[in-house]
Structure 1
């Protein structure tokens, strides 16, 4: 499984070090959100990694809803459900929940399909900034705080009409930003295909905080910083 380098299993818990979480974000998701830098005081494990591990450990159901209820910080030992159930949680050893999962319908344990879909989703999801978020912020005349950019996972929905896929791909279908004062919620919708045949759909939502009036120069600087961090890591 491609996820093996990005977590450590210790007895009944899973530990994701800052270095592992950062490598996953940068090398698999192409995501250079500073919250995933190992040295960040606000470091959190990428939501896409929790999602991918959930599928790898539990399987994929026809309908799956994911609700992120907390940010997984450094040295947090996680307890995953032992098997698929209608409602599940990923918790720490003290019972604090970080991800709530609901599922219904048929279930597939086909690891080849699960890995292919997981990789396709993570690659799709990791390109939210700047490709999707910057145009949405410009359209709504708001922007995140460039000094402390906060963009975090909120929820996801994945639905399949057919789980018998081999190489699923994702295509963007719609984006939106709902602004409420200094906070905002972004929704990114997609369809899932097997070759040219549509086999499902879904969406993810993210929360933005510290919103202020849009400033093109500040956004340009933020994008440059992001691209510089990406270039420096890759070289």
Structure 2
């Protein structure tokens, strides 16, 4: 299973270390958001890893919705309910909620199917910055704060026509960018393909914080730094 090295589980409690979260972000999701660096003061576990852990724990259903209500920091033990009901809440020892899951329809526990879908989803998700978000910000004449770039996962939905994709691939089908002062909400719409056939669709929603007028030079610096981090990591 693609996730086996990126969490520890005991008595239905799941814990993700800084190192595991950072390695998943970089090695699996190709995500170099500074929030997932081991030394980040605002460190949090990638939402895509939590998405994968839920599928690993409860299976893949035809219709699923994930709502993130808190950032999972270092050392937090997450309680995954034993009963796989249609509505699930992931919380910690103090009762703080981090993730709400709604699931309906047929469900598969096939590990190969789930692993392939998770890989396809995180590949699509990791491509969002800079290749999708930067052109969107430029088109709307805004940008994130260069000193404290903040892009966080808010929610996602996926709807499948069938649960047996052999070679799933997510493709962007549309975008929506809503701006409210210094806060921006981005929706990425996607379709799910399997060997040329459309077998599903979904959306991923993110929040961009600290928006300010677009500055091409500053944005170029942010992107260059991001790509430099990618290259440094991938170069032996």
- TM-score relative to the length of structure 1: 0.98
CA distance in 2, matches of 1:131, 1:215: 17
* 1:59 alignment partner in structure 2: 59
CA deviations 1:128-157 (Å, max 9, x no partner) are: 110011000000000000100000000000
**What does 1:143-182 correspond to in 2, within 5 Å?**
143-182=143-182
Q: Which runs of 4+ in 1 moved over 4 A?
A: none
C-alpha distance in structure 2 between counterparts of 1:69 and 1:42, whole Å: 16
Quote the Cα distance in structure 1 between the aligned partners of 2:95 and 2:59. 23
Conserved 8 A contact 2:64-2:157 = yes
Between the aligned partners of 2:115 and 2:164, the Cα distance in structure 1 is 13
Q: How many residues are aligned here?
A: 235
Query: Is residue 12–residue 81 contact of structure 2 (8 Å, CA) maintained in 1?
Result: no
1:59–1:84 contact (8 Å) kept in structure 2: no
Map 1:1-235 → 2, pairs under 5 A: 1-235=1-235
Judge which range, 41-50 or 169-178, deviates more.
169-178
Following superposition, the deviation at residue 194 of structure 1 comes to 1.3
Shift of 1:11: 2.9
Find the aligned partners of 1:169 and 1:228 in 2 and give their Cα distance.
Answer: 27
3-state SS of 1:176 partner: strand
Does the CA-based 8 Å contact 2:36-2:43 persist in structure 1? Answer: yes
Contact 2:12 2:82 in 1 (8 A): no
Name the SS for the 2:21 alignment partner.
Answer: helix
Q: Please report how far the alpha carbon of residue 164 of structure 1 lies from its aligned counterpart in structure 2 after TM superposition.
A: 2.4
1:58–1:83 Cα contact (<8 Å) kept: no
1:227 offset after TM fit, Å? 1.0
For 1:111 and 1:73, how far apart are their aligned partners in 2?
A: 27
Deviations 1:47-101 (A, max 9, x none): 0000001001100111100000000001111111224211101111111111100
**Residue segments in structure 1 that go unaligned for 5+ positions in a row:** none
What CA distance in whole angstroms lies between the structure 1 residues aligned with 2:40 and 2:160?
37
The separation in 2 between residues aligned to 1:130 and 1:150, in whole angstroms, is: 13
**Is 2:62–2:160's contact at 8 Å kept on the other side of the alignment?**
yes
TM-score by length of 2: 0.97
What's the secondary structure of 1:134's corresponding residue? helix
SS at match of 1:147: coil
Q: CA-atom RMSD, angstroms? A: 0.9
Give the whole-Å Cα distance in 1 for the aligned partners of 2:108 and 2:231: 38
Cα deviation, residue 108, structure 1: 1.2
